[in-house]
Structure 1
Amino acid sequence: MVRDADNTKEALIVRSEEAEYVPLPHGGGFRLLADASATGGALGANRLTLGAGADGARPHYHALSSELFYVLCGTVEFFLDDEVTSVGPGGLVVVPPRMPHAFGAAPGSTADLLAVLTPGIDRFGYFRALGRIQHGLDSFDSLKAEQARYDVHFLDIPAWQSARTG
C-alpha cells in the first residue's frame, strides 16, 4: 500500500501501461501488477498471457500462500493434486497452501489469466528470472536455490508432463 504524508493507507492503482511487462518466447508474457511490498504484504498479482498450448508453470507448491487464478480468456489446463482439469473464461481456481499444482494453456488454445498470491511474497524477481530462462538466457537450476525466497517449491511429477504431451 502506498502511504500518504499522514501515514494513512491509500489505494494501490496500477495502470496497464505502467506495469512492467516480461515477454515470453511463445508470444505471451507476464504483466507485473503488484508485488507484496506494494500491498503491505497482503498480496501479489500478475497477469499472464500464454501462447497456444504453452506451459504456464511446472509442478510446484507454495508453503505459505494460497494462489487464485481467474481465467480471462482461452482455456487453461490445471494440474491440482494429481488431477488435471480444464477451466475456461470466467472460471476461478483457488489453490490452498501446500497443494501441488501446475498449469498451461490447453492444446490449440491461448490463455490470459490473472494470478493473485496471498499473503503476498515479493516475486517480481521470480517472474523476471522465468522470462530469462524461457529465452535461454539463464538455466532453470538458477531458480532452485531461490525456492524458499519466492515460496515456489518445485516438484518432479511426471504425470503433469504426460498429461500435457499425451
Structure 2
Amino acid sequence: MSFLPRGPVVVREAEAEVTGAAPVAVRLLADASATGGALSTQRVTLGPGAEGAVPHYHRGSAELFFVLDGALRVLTGEEVVAAGPGDVLVVPPRTAHAFAAAPDAGADVLVVLAPGVERFGYFRLLAQVADGRATRAELLASQDRFDNYFLHSDVWRADRERCGVSSGRGR
C-alpha cells in the first residue's frame, strides 16, 4: 500500500458527491483509491434522532468519528457513548459499532476509516436500497466487498428505544 502517491488530496465542498437526503445525507470526500489506501472519509449530516449506521463492524479498519456539530450517540462494543462538538471517538477493527444523532439534536460528523477501504460504492448502494433501485439482499451480499459486516446489538436497540426512536435503516 502506498500512501498519497500523487501528492496531497484536496476535495472542495462544492465538488463532493452527496448521497441520501435529510434526515441522513452523506458527503463523499476521499475514497481509498484517492489516498493510496491511507484512509477513506465522509461527512455525515443527521437530522434529530436519525440513525447514521446500524450495528456493524469492519475486519480491517478502525473508524474515527469527529463531531463537528450537534450531539451523537455511538455504540462501541457493549456501551453507548455520547459525543458532542469537538469530541473524537475511535472504534478499533472488529468492534461492534453504530451511530445516530441524539433524539433532540442533529449531528454533523466527519467519519474516517483507516486504512482506507473503497466505500463510495457502498454509500451509493445504500441510496439505491433506500429508493427501491436495489434490495437489502444486494446490500448483504456486499459485506466482503466493503468490509462492512452487519450484526445485531441488544445494547443499541435498547438505547434507541430509551431515546424514543427505533433502530433500522442506516449506512
Classify the secondary structure of the residue corresponding to 2:14: helix
Q: For the Cα contact (< 8 Å) 2:73–2:99, is it kept in 1? A: yes
- Aligned position for 2:8: 11
Residue 105 of structure 1: how far off its partner (Å): 0.3
Equivalent-residue separation in structure 2 for 1:136 and 1:81 (angstroms) = 31
Cα separation, 2, equivalents of 1:165 and 1:129:
27
Q: TM-score, normalised by structure 1?
A: 0.90
Secondary structure (helix, strand or coil) at the match of 2:38 reads: coil
Q: 2:39 aligns with which of 40, 43, 60?
A: 43
SS of the residue 2:48 aligns to: coil
Question: CA 1:58–1:27 in structure 2 vs 1: closer, same or farther (change >3 Å)?
Answer: closer
Unaligned runs of 5+ in 2: 163-171
Give the SS at the match of 1:141.
Answer: helix
2:54 aligns with one of 53, 58, 62: 58
Residues 41-90 of structure 1: per-residue CA shift (max 9 Å, x gap): 11001000001100010001110001111000000001110101110000
Equivalence for 1:89:
85
Aligned-partner SS, 1:164: helix
Alignment of 1:20 with 2:17, yes or no, is: yes
Could you tell me how far 1:165 is from its partner in structure 2?
Answer: 1.8
Query: 2 CA distance for matches of 1:130 and 1:44?
Result: 17
Amino acid in the other structure paired with 1:85? V
Kindly state the Cα deviation for residue 27 of structure 1 after the two structures are TM-superposed: 3.2
Would you say 1:131 and 2:122 are equivalent positions?
A: no
Aligned mate of 2:149, from 141, 147, 153: 153
1:61-80 to 2 correspondences below 5 Å: 61-80=57-76
C-alpha distance in 2 between matches for 1:154 and 1:19: 27
- Is 65-74 or 137-146 further displaced after alignment? 137-146
CA distance in 1, matches of 2:78, 2:118: 28
Query: Is 2:138 the partner of 1:142?
Result: yes
- Percentage of pairs with the same residue: 48
Of structures 1 and 2, the larger Rg is shown by 1
**More deviation, 106-115/136-145:** 136-145
Please say if 1:111 is aligned against 2:107. yes
Which of these residues, 98, 101, 105, is aligned with residue 102 of structure 1? 98
Q: TM-score, normalised by structure 2?
A: 0.88
**Could you list the runs of 4 or more consecutive aligned residues of structure 1 that deviate by over 4 angstroms after TM superposition?**
none
Report the alpha carbon displacement of residue 159 of structure 1 after superposing the two structures with TM: 2.5
For these two proteins, the number of residue pairs brought into alignment is 160
